[in-house]
Amino acid sequence: MIRVALPKGRLGNDVYDRFAAIGYSCPELKGNSRKLVFEDAEKGISYILVKPSDVAVYVERGAADIGVIGRDTLLEYSPDVYELCDLGLGRCSIAVAAKNGWKDNTALPLRVATKYPNVAKRYYAAQSREIDIISLHGSIELAPIVGLSDVIVDIVETGTTLKENDLSVVTRIEESSARLIANKSSYMFKKESIDAIVAGMEAFSE
């Protein structure tokens, strides 16, 4: 039995459709229930529905054998897992953004609002730019609008959120998409089953 940690939400639905398309369906999962664990004993697969930022924790600690997570989250948390393949779903960038017309004052530390403090620190350290990190959990775009920060480091997918809030991209830092990850010992003991899933995913992407 392989246990898969799926990120709850839109990405999770797309990922589940991909698993179903390569033969690991579990129709109950598509229902409107509040259940969090779904199992298809015949196909040897079970799914758990997890908050996207928690997928790495479940997989790293072996509560799930494999999981799907954005490269953005892998870069931020650097979990001790294997990255098996790129599913090509959930494509987005991690970018620095600011109010339209914003000019950097390099005489002062840059105030950076983000839910990616590690990615932001690494990026600015490489540029020897002094920063003040303001860690937030959501609606990051609000920070420069109300003067909480100078810039944000956040995900840009369609760009709509930035546009509708009079913000724009200053620099793209990293590109992201959904990755299949595995717990290291699960991969050793269930290599055949996990490799079959990877092969299915890779064949689907070609």
Closest residue to ligand PRP in the complex (CB): 138
**Per rule CB under 6 A, is residue 159 in the interface with ligand PRP?**
yes
Indicate the residue among 25 and 168 with the shorter CB distance to ligand PRP: 168
**Per rule CB under 6 A, is residue 205 in the interface with ligand PRP?**
no
Structure tokens at 187: 């991969």
Quote the CA–CA distance of 78 and 82 in Å, as a whole number.
11
**Per rule CB under 6 A, is residue 135 in the interface with ligand PRP?**
no
Indicate the residue among 11 and 181 with the shorter CB distance to ligand PRP: 11
- Cβ at position 160, least distance to ligand PRP in Å: 4
Binding mask 88-127 for ligand PRP (x = CB under 6 A): ----------------------------------------
- State which of residues 155, 182, 194, 197 lies at the interface with ligand PRP (CB under 6 A): 155
**Per rule CB under 6 A, is residue 146 in the interface with ligand PRP?**
no
- State which of residues 160, 192, 203, 206 lies at the interface with ligand PRP (CB under 6 A): 160
Burial level of 127, CB count in 10 A (0-12/13-18/19+)?
exposed
Binding site for ligand PRP (CB under 6 A): 138-141, 154-161
